[in-house]
Amino acid sequence: MNDSVSNPVLSVDTVVKRFGKTVAVNGISLDIRENEFFALLGPSGCGKTTLLRMIAGFEVPDGGSIRLGDRDITHDAPEKRPLNLMFQSYALFPHMTVWQNLAYGLEMESLPRGEIATRVDDMLKTTDLSALASRKPTELSGGQKQRVALARALIKRPKVLLLDEPLGALDKKLREKMQLELKRLQHEVGITFIIVTHDQEEALVMADRVAVLKDGSILQCGTPQEVYERPANRFVAGFIGAMNFIDGEIGPDALFRAGGEALACDLDGLQRNARAVLAIRPENITLKPAGSGIAGTVVDVAYHGLDRQLYVKTALSPAPLQVRVAATGPGVAAAQTGATVSLAFDAAACRLFQE
């Protein structure tokens, strides 16, 4: 699937990479825009790192090509590409201070001393690290090390910065803070970011566009809103966010039938008289006064602070449906295990898949 954009800064064209019998990347095409924050998202082993390593030049594709602007870089050595790859293990030089870690890459380019000093000081300011300039990596927290690694990658002013699970080593709270910081930094320095993550929430929070990968192929590419609200297939629907799946069939009357209920949904060109699966998110199911919707029994309640997740057993599916209710809304009274409830589906938010 190629999501064409005009004047891409980076173009990946039907790239293939095999390791023995394993097809790690199976003909991926992708166009990345200038200044875009792009996320590659997918389960472990789907080929994310391999794709990034080919873009950076650490692996040579078995087929296809990679272009940076007008230039074919498929076979260029990594150091010949105006790209920078930030690995998950930060690989900071342990014997050097933060300042020296940042200066190192510029010294390798034999820049004048004065310019190096100015650029290091500026980058330390941008990344909020000035106060730590003379510390060694062992004297830093995980989040600080992460920022130094990022600063060191950014200071070289790459056209594109490739980040492989940059926040993987951080705890949840720091991770969330760094997600916003990364986004701010990217905006500030105006560099194209391609980030690899297997955390869907992270991709949705940070990226302008997301590509969802599985088994070396892109299943869907779009804005976070597009992939969340209009998932292209069952895998994407289940991979991104919480989702209820209901097996059933589309009748001759175009209604979706399961467990003795008939629901009106947008068929979106799907076949009638055939099996289908309906996908609906917990926030798109609402509680109704008893007797007016699909009957169910609350079998479990999970407290989430601002809202609660109800698990409601219905005739529609063997698994209870997840239903989100606001902690202050009308659903609170029903948010008790054992309560009898009535459910209504937001028809516009239902997605049907046949595959």
Ligand X SMILES: Nc1ncnc2c1ncn2[C@@H]1O[C@H](COP(=O)(O)OP(=O)(O)OP(=O)(O)O)[C@@H](O)[C@H]1O
Nearest to 137 by CA among 89, 203, 182, 77: 89
Q: Which is nearer to Mg ion, 49 or 342 (CB)?
A: 49
Number of DSSP helices (H) and strands (E) in the chain, helices first? 8, 20
Q: Which is nearer to Mg ion, 49 or 314 (CB)?
A: 49
CB 102 → ligand X: shortest distance, Å?
27
Indicate whether 282 belongs to the interface with ligand X (CB under 6 A).
Answer: no
Distance (Å, whole) CA 193 – CA 184: 12
Three-state DSSP class for residue 278? strand
From the list Mg ion, ligand X, none, which binds 198 (C-beta under 5 to 8 Å, kind-based)?
Answer: ligand X
CB 19 → ligand X: shortest distance, Å?
3
Residues 6+ apart with CB under 8 A from 320: 299, 300, 311, 312, 313, 314
Q: How many CB atoms neighbour CB 115 within 10 A?
A: 11
Distance of CA 295 to the CA centre of its chain: 35
Binding site for Mg ion (CB under 5 A): 49
Indicate whether 58 belongs to the interface with ligand X (CB under 6 A).
Answer: no
CB 10 → ligand X: shortest distance, Å?
18
Indicate whether 19 belongs to the interface with ligand X (CB under 6 A).
Answer: yes
Q: Which of 29, 33, 45, 121 binds ligand X (CB under 6 A)?
A: 45
CB 104 → ligand X: shortest distance, Å?
27
The helix-helix angle for 142-154 and 113-126 (nearest 10°) equals 130
Distance (Å, whole) CA 192 – CA 209: 12
Q: Which is nearer to ligand X, 44 or 138 (CB)?
A: 44
Indicate whether 41 belongs to the interface with ligand X (CB under 6 A).
Answer: no
Indicate whether 32 belongs to the interface with ligand X (CB under 6 A).
Answer: no
From the list Mg ion, ligand X, none, which binds 314 (C-beta under 5 to 8 Å, kind-based)?
Answer: none
- The count of chain residues that interact with ligand X, using the rule CB under 6 A, is 12
DSSP letters of 50-102? HHHHHHHTSS--SEEEEEETTEE-TT--GGGSSEEEE-SS----TTS-HHHHH
Indicate whether 46 belongs to the interface with ligand X (CB under 6 A).
Answer: yes
Distance (Å, whole) CA 160 – CA 282: 37
Q: Which is nearer to Mg ion, 89 or 141 (CB)?
A: 89
Q: Which is nearer to Mg ion, 52 or 276 (CB)?
A: 52
Indicate whether 44 belongs to the interface with ligand X (CB under 6 A).
Answer: yes
From the list ligand X, Mg ion, none, which binds 292 (C-beta under 5 to 8 Å, kind-based)?
Answer: none
DSSP letters of 188-200? HHT-EEEEEES-H
Q: How many CA atoms lie within 13 A of 353 on its CB side?
A: 17
Segment 175 to 214, residues that bind ligand X, using CB under 6 A? 198
Q: Which is nearer to Mg ion, 28 or 352 (CB)?
A: 28
Q: Which is nearer to Mg ion, 78 or 105 (CB)?
A: 78
- Tokens found for residue 257: 């039938």
Residues that bind ligand X (CB under 6 A): 19, 22, 24, 42, 44-50, 198
